[in-house]
Each structure stands twice: as structure tokens, then as C-alpha cells.
Amino acid sequence: MTRAQQTISIGLLISSLYLACFLGLIPFPAKIQEEVIPVLPFWALVSFGAYLLFKLGYGVFTFNDVPEAHKELMAQIDQARMELKGMGVDVD
């Protein structure tokens, strides 16, 4: 089973379980049925967004410094400035 098939299978399983809960095929107390189940997709979306923001922030926080890449980038910037000055472009 490929990852795409696995993702589609899990998505179909979760959506069919939610639909069964939403339509009342799986019995829940009235308060849960009326107040909690209708907002589950929004809650899941907000939770997923918060998880992705945390993951992005953690990735930025733990970003490794690469001195060699910095030196290479600065050399490329200097080379580009020299080429642009050679073409008569003012770069400051």
C-alpha cells in the first residue's frame, strides 16, 4: 500500500466516522451531539494549524548555523555587486 492509498484510506475512515456521529448513527448524549460534534472539523483544523506553526517555529529555533554557506553567499553577493558595477548599475 502506497502512502497516498494509506492517507486516502485514513481520511475516508475518519470522515465516515465523523459522518456517522454527525447523523446520529452512533448514539451520544444530546449535549455532545448538539454542541461538540458539529464543531469537531473546525477544532481539528485549528489544532492542525497550531501544530504546523509550532513545527515551523521549532525548525526556525533549532536552525543550524552554517558558516561556510554564509561565506559562500557573501562571496556571491560581492561578485554580483562587481558585475553590476561593471555594467554601470549603482549598488550600495
Q: Using pLDDT thresholds of 50, 70 and 90, give the confidence band for residue 29.
A: very high
DSSP state of 37: G
| Whole-structure pTM value | 0.59
Structure confidence at residue 63 (pLDDT): 76
Structure confidence at residue 51 (pLDDT): 97
Helix axes 40-61, 3-22, angle to 10 degrees: 140
Residue 32 in contact with residue 47, Cβ under 8 Å?
no
Residue boundaries of the structural domains of the chain = 3-87
Question: pLDDT tens, 38-89?
Answer: 999 999 999 999 999 999 999 888 877 777 888 999 999 999 999 999 998 8
Structure confidence at residue 23 (pLDDT): 94
Residue type, 60: V
